[in-house]
């Protein structure tokens, strides 16, 4: 076993927990609760902690379940569990502790049977994906359903009388979750998934890396376009809701910003999908930019019903949190070692 200083040991534990994306996970809960009218800063902070715990729980469990697959990629050999710097026993302890904290906070501050049920469904779906995601074809739909349910859980902490906007946002998260796991995550991991014969949609559709080049198939490309088109259809539908009423209003500045963000999403999507060579570092930067533009578009669409200070929180917190933690953990603001 390699000996490390206490500082380096702590860094490895944080790298295992991947806290840089925790604010983005928490923003899913914020979305549901803010749409339903929650404005209490203390309760929003509690939701952030629940989201933070859920994020750590999910990603540590994912690394725990994927350790053998990850060992097949030389680019992942420095991950804490793959390298052996952190034991599987300690990783499992983190999974259990974070789950207990999340449930305890929910019971104390947001207790209701439906809320606990929705949180449990999201956790179960996440667990199924983590353990069987690369063994069950189409498992990307499972984890994406978990994201949608997670948003409904956030909304349920305020009221169970969900609005149409909550349902549309949940559907957007479902579609975007599929895109993230099938297209972004699928392409990022396709080199070792293909070698490990993992049953992911990209590998089953024939996507592979050959001679350092990323080989896409017509089927996979079609799926990527269908998912993005569906996302934009839901965004347009969101703008037609009476509470938002964006497309036929006189909110010209907001409309211009939305259109610009749509164009940015399309351009970043195209650049990511047609990257000429398999370059994991470049791909991670591109999908981070694509996700940021996508989230910005969703949040800006909600300006008519959510005050600008909360929209700014939703916009800036995930990005600031992400870059700061990446810099501390990896020395680079936009290149995590995952």
CATH number at residue 288: 1.10.357.140
Long-range pairs for 324-329: beta carbons < 8 A, 24 or more residues apart: 325/14, 325/19, 325/20, 326/20, 329/11, 329/14, 329/15, 329/20
Residue 100 banded pLDDT, cuts 50, 70, 90: very high
Domain count, the chain: 1
Task: Output the pTM of the full model.
Answer: 0.86
Which residues fall within 8 angstroms of residue 131, CB to CB, at 6 or more apart?
65
Question: What's the pLDDT score for residue 1?
Answer: 44
What is the domain extent for residue 209?
14-303+317-330
Compute the average pLDDT of residues 251-270: 94
pLDDT reading at 291 higher than 80:
yes
The verdict on residue 335 lying in a domain is: no
The verdict on residue 200 lying in a domain is: yes
Residue 74 banded pLDDT, cuts 50, 70, 90: low
Comparing 104 with 331, the larger pLDDT belongs to 104
What does the block give as tokens for 57? 């729980």
pLDDT reading at 108 higher than 80:
yes
Q: How would you class 169 by CB atoms within 10 Å of its CB: exposed for 0-12, middle for 13-18, buried for 19 or more?
A: buried
Compute the average pLDDT of residues 266-289: 82
Beta bridge partners of 214: 209
pLDDT digits (tens, 9 = 90+) for 311-321: 999 888 988 89
pLDDT reading at 254 higher than 80:
yes
Compute the average pLDDT of residues 317-331: 85
pLDDT digits (tens, 9 = 90+) for 7-37: 778 888 988 899 988 998 999 999 999 999 9
Question: What's the pLDDT score for residue 4?
Answer: 63
The verdict on residue 99 lying in a domain is: yes
The verdict on residue 177 lying in a domain is: yes
Compute the average pLDDT of residues 169-181: 94
The verdict on residue 174 lying in a domain is: yes
The verdict on residue 49 lying in a domain is: yes
CB-side neighbour CA atoms (13 Å) of 330: 20
The verdict on residue 6 lying in a domain is: no
- CA dihedral sign, ordered 200, 202, 206, 208: negative
Q: How far apart (Å, rounded) are the C-alpha atoms in residues 27 and 49?
A: 11
Which residues fall within 8 angstroms of residue 53, CB to CB, at 6 or more apart?
98, 99, 101, 102, 105
pLDDT digits (tens, 9 = 90+) for 111-142: 999 999 999 999 999 999 888 876 777 788 99
Question: What's the pLDDT score for residue 273?
Answer: 84
The SS3 call for residue 208 is: strand
The verdict on residue 5 lying in a domain is: no
Express as a percent the part of the chain with pLDDT over 90: 54
Nearest to 53 by CA among 97, 112, 116, 3: 97
């Amino acid at each position: 076993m390699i000996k490390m200083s206490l500082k380096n040991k702590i860094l490895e534990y944080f790298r295992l927990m991947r806290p840089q994306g925790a604010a983005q996970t928490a923003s899913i809960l914020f979305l549901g609760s803010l749409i339903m009218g929650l404005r209490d800063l203390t309760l929003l902070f509690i939701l952030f902690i629940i989201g933070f715990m859920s994020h750590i729980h999910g990603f540590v469990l994912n690394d725990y379940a994927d350790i053998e697959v990850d060992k097949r990629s030389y680019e992942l050999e420095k991950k804490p569990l793959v390298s052996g710097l952190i034991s599987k026993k300690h990783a499992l302890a983190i999974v259990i502790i974070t789950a207990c904290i999340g449930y305890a906070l929910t019971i104390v501050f947001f207790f209701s049977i439906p809320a606990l049920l929705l949180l449990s469904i999201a956790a179960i779906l996440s667990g199924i994906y983590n353990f069987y995601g690369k063994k069950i074809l189409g498992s990307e739909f499972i984890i994406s359903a978990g994201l949608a349910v997670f948003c409904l859980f956030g909304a349920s902490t305020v009221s169970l009388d969900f609005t149409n906007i909550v349902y549309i946002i949940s559907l957007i998260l479902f579609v975007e979750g599929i895109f993230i796991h099938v297209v972004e995550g699928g392409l990022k991991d396709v080199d070792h998934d293909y070698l490990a014969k993992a049953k992911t949609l990209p590998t089953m559709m024939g996507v592979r890396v050959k001679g350092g080049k990323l080989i896409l198939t017509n089927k996979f490309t079609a799926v990527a376009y269908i998912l993005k088109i569906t996302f934009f259809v839901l965004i347009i539908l969101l703008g037609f809701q009476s509470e938002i009423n964006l497309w036929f209003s006189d909110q010209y500045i907001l409309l211009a910003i939305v259109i610009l963000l749509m164009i940015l999403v399309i351009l970043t999507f195209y650049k990511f999908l047609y990257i000429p060579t398999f370059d994991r570092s470049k791909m991670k930067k591109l999908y981070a930019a694509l996700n940021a533009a996508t989230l910005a578009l969703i949040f800006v669409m909600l300006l008519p019903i959510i005050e600008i200070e909360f929209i700014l929180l939703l916009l800036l917190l995930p990005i600031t949190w992400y870059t700061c933690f990446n810099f501390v953990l990896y020395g680079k603001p936009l290149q995590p070692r995952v």
